[in-house]
């Protein structure tokens, strides 16, 4: 008997078969199991769940957006970025730290271009709340439609969870008091993702949840090894049942001034991962915002060039990826109150011949509405009972 541990994807489907008869005996005897090839696997199950949608959350699709406010080559123009990439964007990203950071011109351009502003409000070192008052005043006098506000993104510089959450709560209450149509996004850096629940202010003070992912070519003088998968999965599973999610900052470097080398091909592959692979695996990610910036324009010490717009190969890749029907080019202001979303769960299973079986402890958690008396099972050598996944999924979907 060989046992291996690998990861596979198992999408929930309306599977065929009959699970109505009452099964009183295991499908296979202990003696028969000992003669069969049994493989242990990790399987991703996608189970439908009825949810209440958050403000501006689309039932289907992903909003696309971009930040170009530091791109001098495009004259800081979202219109030029859209012309270069050949794609209309639903969201225009801005940054707010002082009273002069968001202008009337930017707001009017959003209105004219049918884009929703997305304002990243950066925390101050002394946790000063005054910029929030300025921002509220600016928005109220310049813009009367919905706006996304990414409030105090968490990164490695944030050290005190208690003070941070108090600071966030004060700002959140002000925003909701004076800008009730706003959508507040709480976000965290991918480098700090395993601390997300330590800094999370609570469902009652968050509308959407964001993740900021910057992929430089070098970090602290060493070649940066990109490995988002486990961290992304951890972040997603923590919030999928309660909040819509977005990749609130995607930045992929194709050039570093550390080695003065272009890696456009590698950057193209990474863009494919974000805009093609991720949407297929994480269905409640409803927004993706690209940060099109050369860091030398932000700080003299900036090393990485994250601009898609500067390389024809990246422009072509980005344009092609956004041709998919899954991407939304305008924000849907009228969204349904409730609906069905697929929730992702990763569980260990036994594969015996062509059948997969899940241990009864996971069945009690994931399929607790099912009467398992009608589901085929085996009593395995480890002393635990395992039920047929195919029959569980069929029964679950029929009930739902």
Q: What is the mean pLDDT of the chain?
A: 89
| Per-residue pLDDT at 315 | 98
> What are the strands, taking DSSP E only, across the chain?
5-9, 38-52, 62-67, 91-96, 116-121, 148-151, 183-189, 208-215, 218-219, 222-223, 245-252, 255-256, 261-262, 285-291, 304-305, 327-328, 338-352, 355-359, 377-379, 385-388
> Which position has the token pair 């930045």?
251
pLDDT band at 17 (very low <50, low <70, confident <90, very high): very low
Q: Which residues are registered as beta bridge partners of 119?
A: 94, 149
pLDDT band at 4 (very low <50, low <70, confident <90, very high): very low
Distance (Å, whole) CA 245 – CA 229: 16
| Per-residue pLDDT at 125 | 86
Could you report how far apart the first and last alpha carbons of the chain are, in Å? 37
| Per-residue pLDDT at 356 | 93
Residues 237-283 have pLDDT tens digits of: 999 999 999 999 999 999 999 999 999 999 999 999 999 999 999 99
Per-position b or e across 262-286, b if 16+ CB within 10 A of its CB:
ebeeebbebbeebbeebbebbbbbb
pLDDT band at 225 (very low <50, low <70, confident <90, very high): confident
Contacts of 231 (CB under 8 A, 6+ apart): 190, 193, 194
| Per-residue pLDDT at 23 | 53
Answer whether residue 286 shows pLDDT above 90: yes
Average pLDDT rounded to a whole number, residues 226-243: 94
Compute φ and ψ for 147, nearest 5 degrees: -145, 140
Which two structure tokens, joined as six digits, stand for 266? Answer: 């590698």
Listed residue (362, 363, 357) closest to 376, CA to CA: 357
Please tell me which residue, 148 or 369, carries the higher pLDDT value.
Answer: 148
Residues 309-351 have pLDDT tens digits of: 999 999 999 999 999 999 999 998 788 899 999 999 999 999 9
Listed residue (24, 10, 44, 39) closest to 379, CA to CA: 24
Answer whether residue 96 shows pLDDT above 50: yes
User: In this prediction, what percent of the chain has a pLDDT beyond 90?
Assistant: 70
| Per-residue pLDDT at 24 | 66
User: In this prediction, what percent of the chain has a pLDDT beyond 70?
Assistant: 92
Task: Compute the residue count for the chain.
Answer: 400
| Domain 54-335 CATH class label | alpha beta
Helix (H) or strand (E) holding 360: helix 360-366
| CA-to-CA separations, 45 to 22, 78, 118, 345, in angstroms, rounded | 25, 39, 33, 5
Q: Which residues are registered as beta bridge partners of 385?
A: 379
Which of 25-34, 45-54, 233-242 is predicted least confidently? Answer: 25-34
Please tell me which residue, 229 or 190, carries the higher pLDDT value.
Answer: 190
Q: Is 44 helix (H, G, I), strand (E, B) or coil?
A: strand
| Per-residue pLDDT at 27 | 83
Which two structure tokens, joined as six digits, stand for 269? Answer: 């592959």
Distance (Å, whole) CA 387 – CA 98: 59
| CA-to-CA separations, 284 to 52, 161, 181, 291, 342, in angstroms, rounded | 13, 27, 22, 21, 8
| Per-residue pLDDT at 36 | 83
Residues 129-184 have pLDDT tens digits of: 999 998 998 887 667 778 999 999 999 999 999 999 999 999 999 999 999 989 99
Average pLDDT rounded to a whole number, residues 190-218: 97
pLDDT band at 400 (very low <50, low <70, confident <90, very high): low
Rg value, the chain, Cα: 24
Answer whether residue 8 shows pLDDT above 50: no
Distance (Å, whole) CA 77 – CA 68: 7
Sorted by where each begins, the domain ranges of the chain are: 5-50+340-399, 54-335
Instruction: Decide: pTM greater than 0.75.
Output: yes
Answer whether residue 119 shows pLDDT above 80: yes
pLDDT band at 22 (very low <50, low <70, confident <90, very high): low
Average pLDDT rounded to a whole number, residues 104-116: 88
Find which of 5-9, 134-138, 386-390 is predicted with most confidence, using mean pLDDT.
386-390
Are the C-beta atoms of residues 71 and 292 closer than 8 Å to each other? yes
């Amino acid at each position: 008997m060989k046992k291996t541990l690998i990861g596979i994807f198992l999408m929930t489907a309306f599977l065929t078969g009959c699970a109505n008869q009452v099964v009183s005996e295991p499908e296979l005897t202990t003696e028969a199991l000992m003669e069969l090839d049994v493989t242990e696997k990790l399987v991703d199950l996608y189970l439908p769940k009825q949810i209440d949608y958050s403000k501006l959350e689309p039932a289907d699709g992903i909003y696309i957006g971009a930040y170009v406010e530091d791109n001098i080559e495009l004259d800081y123009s979202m219109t030029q970025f859209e012309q270069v990439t050949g794609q209309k964007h639903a969201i225009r990203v801005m940054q707010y730290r002082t009273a002069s950071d968001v202008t009337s011109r930017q707001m009017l351009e959003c209105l004219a271009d049918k884009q929703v502003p997305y304002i990243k409000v950066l925390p101050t070192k002394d946790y000063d709340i005054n910029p929030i008052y300025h921002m509220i005043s600016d928005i109220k006098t310049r813009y009367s439609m919905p706006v996304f506000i990414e409030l105090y993104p968490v990164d490695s510089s944030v050290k005190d969870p208690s003070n941070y959450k108090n600071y966030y709560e004060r700002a959140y209450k002000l925003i909701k008091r004076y800008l009730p149509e706003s959508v507040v996004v709480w976000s965290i850096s991918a480098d700090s993702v395993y601390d997300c629940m330590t800094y999370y202010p609570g469902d009652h003070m968050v509308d959407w949840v964001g993740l900021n992912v910057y992929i430089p070519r070098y970090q602290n003088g060493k070649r940066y090894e990109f490995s988002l998968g486990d961290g992304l999965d951890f972040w997603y599973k923590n919030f999928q049942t309660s909040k819509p999610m977005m990749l609130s900052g995607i930045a992929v470097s194709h050039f570093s001034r550390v080695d003065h080398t272009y890696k456009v091909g590698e950057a193209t592959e990474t863009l494919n991962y974000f805009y093609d692979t991720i949407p297929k695996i994480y269905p409640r990610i409803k927004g993706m915002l690209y940060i099109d910036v050369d860091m030398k324009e932000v700080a003299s010490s900036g090393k990485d060039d994250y601009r898609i717009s500067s390389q024809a190969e990246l422009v072509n890749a980005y344009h092609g990826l956004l041709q998919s029907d899954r991407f939304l080019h305008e924000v849907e202001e009228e969204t349904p109150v409730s609906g069905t979303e697929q929730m992702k769960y990763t569980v260990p299973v036994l594969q015996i011949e062509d059948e997969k079986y899940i241990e009864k402890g996971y069945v009690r958690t994931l399929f607790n509405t099912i009467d398992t008396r009608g589901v085929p099972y085996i009593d395995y050598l480890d002393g635990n009972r395992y039920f047929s996944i195919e029959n569980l999924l069929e029964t679950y979907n029929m009930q739902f």
